[in-house]
Structure 1
Amino acid sequence: MPNHVKYQRGYFMPPEPCFDWAKKEYIEKAPKWVSVDLRDGNQALIIPMSLEQKLEYFKKLVEIGFKEIEIGFPAASETEFELARTLIENDMIPEDVTIQVLTQAREHIIKKTFDALEGCKTPVIIHVYNSTSLAQREQVFKRDKEQIKEIALTGAKLLKELTDEAGHDNYRFEYSPESFTGTEPEYALEVCNAVLDVWQPTPDRKAIINLPATVEMSLPHVFAQQVEYMSKNLKYRDAVELSLHCHNDRGTGVAETELGILAGADRVEGTLFGNGERTGNTDLITVAMNMFAHGVDPQLNFANMPELVELYERVTNMKVEPRRPYAGQLVFAAFSGSHQDAIAKGLKWREEHDPEHWTTPYLPIDPTDVGRHYETDVIRINSQSGKGGIGYILEQNFGYVLPPKMREELSYASKDVSDHTHAELSPEEVNRIFHENYVNHEGRIELMDFHFTHAENNKAFKAFVTVKIDGDEQDVIGNGNGRLDSVCNAMEKLGLKAHIASYSEHAMTGGSDSSAMAYVGVEDPNGKIVWGAGEHHDIITASIKGLISALNRM
């Protein structure tokens, strides 16, 4: 029997069509974000975070803008119990931040959870759960639907009783039918509504119903229908926050979350960079930044992504993949020549035509919005790069504005170096290749001296040039329409026949002491353009040095 035959679709469609989500174009406003890094993310680490690391991470989550943070499972770990006590006893929880704790629907675990929260003055969410899926009912608990529902109700009642007894009016409740994706939607709805009947939520004190894709089982559009079915049929809907907690077993956790928001979810639980068990949780950075890229404020601040990556990797001992959306080191990098050229032209177009909007080819967002830089993170040079990238690197990093054809020739020289070294080239290495091959290029001809006078008609120039050719010093005179033309004609008298086919120049910096660059393309007797560049504080000297460089290269 083929291996794939043993796999069955373990999910269930809702009993009625639920396609309103499919009519929506984009997510119009941010959901409530809940970080579960300190619980779900932490329990997935080979070496869980220490108390000190958790406190540092908590502070960063607050700084980013999270208003609800799940700090752990106090009854399951002494470190997580201690984290709760440390945050509470040291008044480290901002007034506008709600902490969340997880507990199973079991009496002794719930009571220890309450012990961990003793004295907390800020809002608290107590998250209780039990598994409701068909597979868990049959294989793990060996109980029927009524018995499984009773577990949920027992936990819900105990939470309410302990809260009412202690007068904790700052406590709110959350219930998860764990393994929701493997639960019949009608049964999940029955259990959730029964829990809500116990809690009797109000718009002023809402309950949370969390729908976890504990294991991703279906295509995202199926999950969206399941969520929409729950959203439309939950009791007390105006007093309930519908929440999502998606994992990434099929690699579509972000897609499920986005469609789930369209289907009616008010709230999203997840982790930074998608950390979590197995393939991880929904990556909240990706979901939030996807909204950002559509012009919607996600209410979370990821303006310094490199700093966040450094903290995450240090305290979790995990790595952020170089291609992870928005955060990876290479997500904005363009090595391809055609991509580099399009990006460079797009940035120039935006600067000249529409600086207020972002439509740059190949870059879905402005890299500077997440703390990346064009010079080091976007245009990257290797054997696949082209003239656009080379030109951009030299202009942005060193101020050189090469003519297009010269850029193209330099790109081949740079790609050749990268090809032979099997390495990426830094901007400094590209600049070195440029200077070694083109700038003030030494060879048979050495410029010693020059000066000019006007020709007899006062409309042309006469150049008096002293050069060394193969060490032999010679004086030569040439006439021309311009200074550089007259020098070129003087060189022809020495047997160095060349026609100036291209010339451009620019100052490197402002001020009277600015150096200047000149780029000279000369046509050899065979019609080929040979390039040279001259750099000097005097533009005339730079031009002549550029001509001599081209002649030496020719």
Structure 2
Amino acid sequence: MENKRIQIFDTTLRDGEQVPGCKLNTKEKIRIAKKLEDLGVDVIEAGFPTSSPGDYQSVQKICKSVSKTVVCALSRAVEKDIEIAGEALKYAKKPRIHTGIGTSYFHIVYKFKSTPDKIIERSINAVKYAKKFVEDVEFYAEDAGRTENDFLAKVCENVIKYGATVINIPDTTGYCLPEEYGEKIRFLKENVKGIHKITLSTHCHNDLGLATANSLSGIMNGAQQVECTINGIGERAGNTSLEEIVMIIKQNSHLNLFTNINTKLISSTSHLVSECTGMKVQANKAIVGVNAFSHSSGIHQDGVIKRRETYESINPEDVGINHSSIILTARSGRAALSYRYKKLGFVLRKSSLDLVYSIFLKYADEKKEITDTELKKILKIANLNTKILHANNSTNTNRRINVV
């Protein structure tokens, strides 16, 4: 079976920036946009131009700063919004307007105080008007996760008829279970006339911690694009994490899917976004957290030292991290201690290792983590005599190894 490419639509600069306390200036947005282009994303959602003059300017300058990637601007199903989005995109090599409206009962009745027929009319008019500015028009059916499938299919069929090139099916409130979201995508693939002409997109929120699982279920049931953010940042509990969905696809070849992401740039992109937004990445965050490739349990450390794959399903080098980390704590064993000393240039014989390990455990019981400086102190406390030898090393023949 031929592998299918999944397009990666990054909305870090739009949905990601909606995190309370996160505000990016134009220069920071341009830095991130350029990094996203290097990373290989297919679409950069650069902002919501009608929301503020600053956002308008940022979208316009991003259009001038990237050339290979589609630049997308968000709008509501309002002519003025669409017009401003079109103007902001005028310098883009590959422009896309992302317009849409809420389609669930909650949105139709309480937000818009409208009717299903009027929502369909507004959807059609929004797409028709957006086509006056760009050829590539993405339509979002906000709160599609809680929208009845038959009505959602009707909305999709109508916007396809009037020129939508991409249809976004957002689980806006993070409401769906993976099976439900996948079934929704499959229902649309099987029941919407003309669905084969367009790209069907997932856009999942993480309110119940299911954003990545829902996105995966969506693409396994026929969606061809995933909307996501670096580090999973976004409104409330965040969005689908780019690094998670991309690495799931990369590590599971049996899915017969692939992306154009240069995964070796994931770590540096994560750091840049964290630096610019001021949003720290939680230590245990999958793929990009500082603990993602760190091992402190003695059993795990021994296994990883013998062969990395015993406790790591991902090679850290694949995401731009040089190596796994062996963290010395009270739970560490002799193998980890010996490994870390070797990294410092000290090869410990068994008798020396036993002595040093007993001192190490006393230190480790008092501290969260033992540092390299403390490891050298422990050697001094052990009062070991060292014999300096020169090791044959393919990378540095003059490297000094202390055998103790």
Following TM superposition, by how much is the alpha carbon of 1:54 offset from its aligned partner in structure 2, in angstroms? 0.7
What is the match of residue 306 of structure 2?
A: 345
Paired residue type of 2:127 = A
Within the candidate set 4, 7, 14, 1:32 is matched to 7
Following TM superposition, by how much is the alpha carbon of 1:338 offset from its aligned partner in structure 2, in angstroms? 1.0
Partner SS, residue 143 of structure 1: coil
Uncovered stretches (5+) of structure 2, i.e. residues with no partner: none
1:399–1:508 CA contact under 8 A, matched in 2: no
What is the match of residue 101 of structure 1?
A: 73
Partner SS, residue 58 of structure 2: helix
2:69–2:94 CA contact under 8 A, matched in 1: yes
Following TM superposition, by how much is the alpha carbon of 1:396 offset from its aligned partner in structure 2, in angstroms? 2.8
What is the match of residue 216 of structure 1?
A: 174
What is the match of residue 191 of structure 2?
A: 233
Following TM superposition, by how much is the alpha carbon of 1:107 offset from its aligned partner in structure 2, in angstroms? 1.5
Partner SS, residue 307 of structure 2: helix
What is the match of residue 312 of structure 2?
A: 363
1:383–1:419 CA contact under 8 A, matched in 2: yes
1:174 and 2:141 matched:
no
Q: Provide the alpha-carbon RMSD of the alignment.
A: 2.5
1:123 and 2:94 matched:
yes
1:192 and 2:156 matched:
yes
1:387–1:410 CA contact under 8 A, matched in 2: no
Superposed CA deviations along residues 432-455 of structure 1, whole A, max 9, x for unmatched, are 3134315229xxxxxxxxxxxxxx
Superposed CA deviations along residues 29-73 of structure 1, whole A, max 9, x for unmatched, are 441001111111112242421111111111111111112111111
Greater displacement, 360-369 / 280-289: 360-369
Following TM superposition, by how much is the alpha carbon of 1:109 offset from its aligned partner in structure 2, in angstroms? 1.5
Within the candidate set 230, 239, 249, 1:281 is matched to 239
Partner SS, residue 209 of structure 1: strand
Partner SS, residue 97 of structure 2: strand
What is the match of residue 391 of structure 2?
A: 509
In structure 2, the CA distance between the partners of 1:138 and 1:515, relative to structure 1 (3 Å rule), is closer
What is the match of residue 370 of structure 2?
A: 425
Partner SS, residue 288 of structure 2: coil
Following TM superposition, by how much is the alpha carbon of 1:289 offset from its aligned partner in structure 2, in angstroms? 1.5
Within the candidate set 369, 372, 389, 2:321 is matched to 372
Greater displacement, 67-76 / 185-194: 67-76
Whose helix proportion is higher, 1 or 2? 2
C-alpha separation in 2, matches of 1:216 and 1:514:
54
Superposed CA deviations along residues 107-163 of structure 1, whole A, max 9, x for unmatched, are 222222222223x35121111110011112222222221122122122122223x24
Give the TM-score normalised by structure 1: 0.67
Paired residue type of 1:334 = H
Greater displacement, 136-145 / 260-269: 136-145
C-alpha separation in 1, matches of 2:74 and 2:54:
14
1:412 and 2:358 matched:
yes
1:332 and 2:293 matched:
yes
Report matched runs for 1:131-530 at 5 Å: 131-160=102-131, 162-163=132-133, 171-199=135-163, 207-294=165-252, 298-347=259-308, 360-374=309-323, 377-403=324-350, 406-420=352-366, 422-440=367-385, 507-510=389-392
Following TM superposition, by how much is the alpha carbon of 1:368 offset from its aligned partner in structure 2, in angstroms? 2.6
In structure 2, the CA distance between the partners of 1:234 and 1:509, relative to structure 1 (3 Å rule), is same
Give the TM-score normalised by structure 2: 0.91
Paired residue type of 1:326 = I
The higher radius of gyration belongs to 1
1:217–1:250 CA contact under 8 A, matched in 2: yes
What is the match of residue 11 of structure 1?
A: none
2:71–2:89 CA contact under 8 A, matched in 1: no
Superposed CA deviations along residues 272-301 of structure 1, whole A, max 9, x for unmatched, are 001100000100111111222335753212
